[in-house]
Chains A and B, each alone.
Chain A
Amino acid sequence: MAKKKRRSMLYIPGNNPAMVQQAGVYGCDAVLLDLEDAVALNQKDAARILVRSMLKTVNFYKTEVCVRVNNLQTPFGLADLEEIVPMQPDNIRFPKTESVQDVRDFMKEVRRIEKEHDIKDPKMTIHVMIETAKGVANVYDIASCEPRIDAITIGGQDLTADMGIIKTPDGAGIDYARKRIVMAGKANNLDVLDTVFADVNDEEGLKEETEYIKKLGFAGKALINPRQIDPVHEVFNPSEKEIRKAYRVYSEFYKNTKAGIGVFAIDGKMIDAPVVQRAITVLEYANIDIKDIEKSVDLSD
């Protein structure tokens, strides 16, 4: 089955009904209904009740729905889980994860609530956020400790604050953390998602940063404004040339596999498993189902 696209994940303040009710029509791959930093301390109760109520009723269409709860060390984290876990959004984002023990404590509460609500075989997955130097140091262990984690993400603003540095446009201060988190995620077959780009008026800067994180291996980026969706998709979407090449690679791969041939060449270049895997990824981003390619391949010669 094709992996879900997570090129764009738009943060929406959990206490803003106008934005939450429209979340499914912005055109982003996922929405992050935020109960944490986007909500004032004296409105935490209102936000979690509103998000719970919206999850019951609102149609988010094909947009993946993730809820960012507060950390369990705060007075709000457990109350958030009590309201949100029974609703089973697609995923819950767990902020400021620093250790394996943090994940275990979090999952203990999630599983308890699911059991109390008789939720069998839950499909809701977990996104862990790495936002402290300690979290970066422990990231491989965190990424590998819980099978329901399917994405790992870097929180750039909190991380730079924790490190006592300023977040610069070139991202120098978080470059090591980005690369370390990508490796930990890839080693565990997780999607790795990038932090926000704070200047909503700087479209060129957003594109540059997105080009960079795409090269590093990130699957997508968190956004803070719907205006940022199209520029990010533009970067992540493959070009026509890339799609044509991927189509040809996969067609030839399918044909050769049917003939019992493992490695073959196109225009003198060797095509092996990693090249085929890259082609499949390009086709997924282009919304082309490989089953349709298989049907169209002529196996007669």
Chain B
Amino acid sequence: MTPKFKAQAGTFESSDIMVLIEPVDEGTGRQVDLSSTVMLQFEEDIKATINQVLDAMNVGHVHLIAKDKGALTPTIKARVETAIKRSLGIQEGTL
């Protein structure tokens, strides 16, 4: 599946993560830009979690921007899923 719309989910509050989705052309691949308050310790874990959700939702081509404020794994998963569903037009978005 390829995202059709710009979409976002999450907040800049502590323990949350803001996820922004930008549609890209087919064949572009995935680009994940992450910034986090715990970048040094968990950059790879957070990226792995994001990619796990994208794999599960079969999203191959997307530009995902994530601003993390120390979110736990279930929060990261939920915010990525919500942002993707919004960008696919499956659920009501906020942008």
Contact = CB atoms under 8 A, between A and B. Distances in A.
A172 B72 CA distance: 45
Contacts of A56: 74
Contacts of A73: none
Contacts of B72: 17, 21, 57-58
Given A17-B15, A42-B94, A43-B94, A49 B81 contact: yes
A207 interface: no
A49 B92 contact: no
A46 B75 contact: no
B58 interface: no
The CB with the most chain B CB atoms within 10 A, among A45, A46, A53, is that of A46
Contacts of B15: 17-18, 21
A228 to B, nearest CB: 22
Contact of B77 (A43, A44, A53): A53
Contact of B74 (A43, A45, A54): A54
Contacts of B77: 53
A70 to B, nearest CB: 14
The CB with the most chain B CB atoms within 10 A, among A21, A42, A45, A56, is that of A45
Contacts of A54: 74-75, 78
A45 B73 CA distance: 18
The CB with the most chain B CB atoms within 10 A, among A42, A44, A49, is that of A49
A200 B68 CA distance: 31
A50 interface: yes
Given A17-B16, A18-B14, A18-B15, A45 B91 contact: yes
A52 interface: yes
Nearest to A52: B78
Interface string B58-85: 0000000000000111110111011001
Given A45-B86, A50-B78, A53-B78, A18 B13 contact: yes
B10 interface: yes
Contact of A42 (B13, B74, B92): B92
B16 A45 contact: no
A49 B82 CA distance: 7
B9 interface: yes
Interface in A45-102: 45-46, 49-50, 52-54, 56-58
A16 B79 CA distance: 12
Contact of A50 (B73, B75, B92, B94): B75
Contacts of A45: 82, 85-86, 91-92
27 contacts: A16-B13, A17-B13, A17-B16, A17-B72, A17-B74, A17-B75, A18-B13, A18-B14, A18-B15, A21-B15, A21-B75, A43-B94, A45-B92, A46-B9, A46-B79, A46-B82, A49-B78, A49-B81, A49-B82, A50-B74, A50-B75, A50-B78, A50-B79, A53-B81, A54-B78, A56-B74, A57-B74
- Please give me the 3 A-B residue pairs with the lowest Cβ-Cβ distance, nearest first: A18-B15, A53-B78, A45-B91
